[in-house]
C-alpha cells in the first residue's frame, strides 16, 4: 500500500478534506437492508447476472481474490473503524473487443453514485470533486502531432496505487459472495468511480513530481505536461532522448509505487514486447507502422428506427476532439436540429423526408485517416506558420487552421529525389527478375522434358489451357481454349 506519511499529502487521502459528512437519518442496518433490496431488484444486479453465467462468476470472483491478495481490498471488520460507512453496488462490465493480452476483458465497476434510499445521499454527493489538475486533452493531442516520434505508456492500475486512511475505508465497502458465503469487504486503496478519484490521482502525482531532484527536471516537466489521468506521452525527434525519458520516468513513478507498463512507440526498439498494432492515443486509433491517426465513424444499423434519441446517440459516438471530421458532423447536427423542430417525442420516428436525409448522411460516413505527425524531419524545420480560415452561413459557422511547415532549402526535394531513385531501382530489379524467370526457369522446364523423355499429353481441341503472360502471379495469367492444332512435317504438335 502506498500512503505518503506527510502532513501535506496525507490530506489527500482524508475524506474530511473532500467534504464527506453524514446526512442520512437512517442507521447503518437500514442502509444495508435498502442496499440488499435495491441490488436484487435491479435488472442488471450483481446476483441476478452472475447466477446466470457460471464462467462469468468465476472470473469475477478471481478479480476480488486477486485484489484481496494484493492488499487492494480487505475484509471489513464487524465494527467500522471510522464514522462513515457506505456499501457500493457493483457489476461486471465485459469488453467484447478486448482480444489482446494487454487489455482486461472483465472489469469490476462500482456505482458510487447509487443511493441507499430515495432521500439519502450517495458517497459521491458527499464529496468535493476537487479542481481539475489534468492538462487539456486537445493540447496533448496537438503536441502528439508536432514531432516525428512518439512514446506512450500507462500507469498500471493508477487509482488502486493510492492508499486510503483506515478511518475512511468503511466509506468504500461492498458485498461479495465467495464460495457460497456472503462477505463484507472494503477498499484499502482508492477505487475507480469515486467523484474525487481524478483529483486525488492528479494531486498525488503532482506532489510526488515536485519532490524530484533537479537532475530529473526535463523528465518531470514532460510528465507534468503530457500525463492525462494514467496515460503518459513523450514526443521528440531523437531516439536517445525518448529512451532517456522512458528510463527516468520509470524510476520516478515506481518510487511512488506507480509502475509503468504498455510502452508503445512508432520506434520498435522502444516498445514492450507483444504490443498490438494498431493501438490508441487517448481514444484515437494509431497505426504505428503507417504512423497514422484514424477517426472512427461506425454507421447506425439500417433496421434501427430513426428517432431523435437514435440520431443523438449516433452523433455522440463520434469522438473527434481535434475537429478533423467536424465539417461532416455539422450536417448531422443540422439534421438533429430539424428533428427537434418537428416537436415529436424522443422515441417517435422522424418524418420520411428527414429520415431519407439522415440515412443518406449516415451511409456516407467513413473512417478518416490522417498522418500522425505533420512533419517527418523536425531537425530541418525553419518555421511553422498557422493559417486560419473562418466562414459562416445561416446553418453553421466554422474555423479551420492549416499548419504550413517551412523546411531548409532543398531538404524536402532531396528526400523526394532519393525516394524516386529507390522506386526506380526496385522497379528495375523486379522487371529483371521477372524476365530472367521467364527466360531461364520456363525454358528449363521445356528442356527437362526433352532430357527426361517424359511423355507429355498434348492439349486437344476444346481443352482449356493457361496462357503464359507477363504477370509474375500465375493466378493472373489468362485462360484460353484450343481451337485447332498445328503440326510439323514430323507430325509433332508445334502450336495450338
DSSP codes of every residue in 179-234 = TTEEEEEEESBPPTT-TTHHHHHHHHHHHHHHTS-GGGHHHHHHHHHHEETTEEEE
Instruction: Tell me what pLDDT residue 251 has.
Output: 92
Instruction: Tell me what pLDDT residue 10 has.
Output: 40
Please check whether residue 92 is in contact with residue 106, taking contact to mean a CB–CB distance below 8 angstroms.
Answer: yes
Count of H-run helices and E-run strands, the chain? 13, 19
- At 284 the three-state DSSP class reads strand
Q: List the beta bridge partners of residue 234.
A: 151
Please check whether residue 309 is in contact with residue 336, taking contact to mean a CB–CB distance below 8 angstroms.
Answer: no
The span from the CA of 153 to the CA of 249, in Å, is 10
Q: List the beta bridge partners of residue 94.
A: 106
Cis bond upstream, residue 11 (ω within 30): no
Instruction: Cell 424522443: give the residue.
Output: 346
The span from the CA of 385 to the CA of 389, in Å, is 13
Instruction: Tell me what pLDDT residue 27 has.
Output: 46
CA 208 to chain centre: 27
- For the chain, which residues make up each domain, given as ranges? 35-289, 292-408, 463-494
Please check whether residue 131 is in contact with residue 199, taking contact to mean a CB–CB distance below 8 angstroms.
Answer: yes
Residue 273: phi and psi, rounded to 5, are: -75, 150
pTM of the model: 0.64
Q: What is the largest CA-CA distance in the chain?
A: 115
Strand boundaries in 39-136, DSSP class E: 73-75, 90-94, 106-110
Instruction: Cell 455539422: give the residue.
Output: 330
- The one-digit pLDDT tens for each residue of the chain (496 residues) are 333 333 443 433 333 333 333 444 444 455 455 555 545 444 544 444 444 567 777 888 888 888 889 899 899 888 887 788 888 888 887 766 554 444 557 788 888 888 877 788 888 888 888 888 888 888 888 888 888 899 999 998 888 888 888 888 888 888 888 877 888 999 999 888 888 888 889 999 999 999 999 999 999 999 999 998 889 999 888 889 999 999 999 999 998 889 999 999 988 888 888 888 888 888 888 998 888 888 887 666 777 888 888 888 888 888 888 888 888 888 888 899 999 888 888 888 989 999 889 888 888 888 888 888 877 766 667 777 888 888 888 878 888 888 777 777 765 554 445 556 656 766 776 677 667 666 665 555 555 444 455 555 677 777 777 777 777 666 677 778 877 877 776 777 666 6
159: how many CB neighbours lie within 10 A of its CB? 21
The helix, strand and coil proportions of the chain, stated in percent and rounded to the nearest 5, come to 40, 20, 40
DSSP codes of every residue in 320-339 = -TT-TTHHHHHHHHHHHHHH
User: Strands 73-75 and 181-187, how do they pair?
Assistant: antiparallel
Q: List the beta bridge partners of residue 404.
A: 385
**CA-to-CA dists, residue 63 to 58, 91, 106, 258, 321, angstroms:** 9, 12, 9, 20, 34
Residues 6+ apart with CB under 8 A from 214: none
Residues 6+ apart with CB under 8 A from 349: 305, 306, 307, 355
The span from the CA of 100 to the CA of 350, in Å, is 41
The span from the CA of 404 to the CA of 398, in Å, is 20
User: Strands 260-265 and 173-178, how do they pair?
Assistant: unpaired
Instruction: Tell me what pLDDT residue 32 has.
Output: 55
DSSP codes of every residue in 450-483 = HHTT---PPPPTT-EEEPP-S-SSGGGSPEEE--
Amino acid at each position: 500500500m502506498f500512503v505518503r506519511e506527510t502532513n501535506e499529502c496525507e490530506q489527500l487521502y482524508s475524506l474530511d478534506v473532500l467534504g464527506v459528512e453524514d446526512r442520512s437519518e437512517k442507521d447503518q442496518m437500514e442502509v444495508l437492508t435498502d442496499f440488499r433490496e435495491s441490488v436484487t431488484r435491479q435488472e442488471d444486479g450483481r446476483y441476478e447476472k452472475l447466477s446466470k453465467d457460471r464462467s462469468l462468476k468465476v472470473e469475477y470472483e478471481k478479480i476480488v481474490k486477486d485484489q484481496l491478495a494484493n492488499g487492494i481490498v480487505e475484509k471489513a471488520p464487524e465494527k467500522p473503524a471510522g464514522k462513515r460507512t457506505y456499501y457500493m453496488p457493483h457489476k461486471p462490465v465485459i469488453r467484447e473487443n478486448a482480444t489482446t493480452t494487454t487489455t482486461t476483458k472483465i472489469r469490476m465497476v462500482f456505482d458510487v453514485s447509487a443511493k441507499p434510499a430515495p432521500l439519502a445521499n450517495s458517497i459521491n454527493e458527499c464529496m468535493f470533486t476537487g479542481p481539475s489538475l489534468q492538462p487539456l486533452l486537445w493540447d496533448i493531442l496537438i503536441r502528439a502531432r508536432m514531432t516525428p516520434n512518439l512514446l506512450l505508456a500507462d500507469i498500471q492500475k493508477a487509482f488502486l496505487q493510492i492508499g486510503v486512511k483506515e478511518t475512511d475505508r468503511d466509506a468504500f465497502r461492498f458485498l461479495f459472495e465467495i464460495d457460497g458465503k456472503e462477505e463484507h469487504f472494503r477498499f484499502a486503496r482508492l477505487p475507480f468511480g469515486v467523484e474525487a478519484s481524478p483529483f486525488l490521482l492528479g494531486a498525488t502525482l503532482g506532489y510526488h513530481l515536485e519532490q524530484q531532484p533537479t537532475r530529473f527536471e526535463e523528465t518531470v516537466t514532460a510528465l507534468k505536461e503530457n500525463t492525462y489521468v494514467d496515460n503518459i506521452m513523450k514526443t521528440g525527434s531523437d531516439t536517445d532522448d525518448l529512451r532517456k525519458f522512458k528510463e527516468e520516468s520509470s524510476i520516478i513513478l515506481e518510487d511512488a509505487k506507480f509502475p509503468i507498463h504498455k510502452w508503445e512507440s512508432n520506434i520498435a526498439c522502444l516498445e514492450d514486447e507483444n504490443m498490438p498494432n494498431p493501438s490508441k492515443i487517448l481514444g484515437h486509433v494509431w497505426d504505428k507502422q503507417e504512423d497514422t491517426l484514424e477517426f472512427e465513424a461506425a454507421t447506425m444499423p439500417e433496421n434501427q428506427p430513426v428517432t431523435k434519441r437514435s440520431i443523438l446517440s449516433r452523433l455522440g459516438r463520434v469522438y473527434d476532439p481535434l475537429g478533423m471530421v467536424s465539417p461532416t458532423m455539422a450536417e448531422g447536427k443540422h439534421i438533429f436540429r430539424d428533428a427537434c423542430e418537428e416537436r415529436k417525442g424522443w422515441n417517435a420516428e422522424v418524418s420520411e423526408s428527414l429520415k431519407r436525409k439522415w440515412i443518406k448522411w449516415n451511409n456516407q460516413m467513413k473512417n478518416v485517416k490522417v498522418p500522425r505527425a505533420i512533419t517527418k524531419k523536425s531537425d530541418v524545420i525553419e518555421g511553422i506558420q498557422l493559417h486560419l480560415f473562418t466562414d459562416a452561413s445561416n446553418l453553421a459557422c466554422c474555423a479551420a487552421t492549416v499548419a504550413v511547415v517551412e523546411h531548409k532549402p532543398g531538404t524536402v526535394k532531396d528526400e523526394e529525389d532519393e525516394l524516386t531513385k529507390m522506386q526506380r531501382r526496385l522497379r528495375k530489379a523486379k522487371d529483371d527478375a521477372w524476365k530472367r524467370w521467364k527466360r531461364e526457369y520456363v525454358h528449363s522446364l521445356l528442356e527437362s522434358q526433352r532430357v527426361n523423355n517424359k511423355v507429355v499429353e498434348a492439349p486437344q481441341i476444346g481443352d482449356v489451357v493457361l496462357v503464359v503472360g507477363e504477370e509474375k502471379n500465375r493466378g493472373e495469367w489468362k485462360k484460353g481454349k484450343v481451337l485447332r492444332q498445328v503440326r510439323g512435317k514430323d507430325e509433332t504438335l508445334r502450336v495450338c
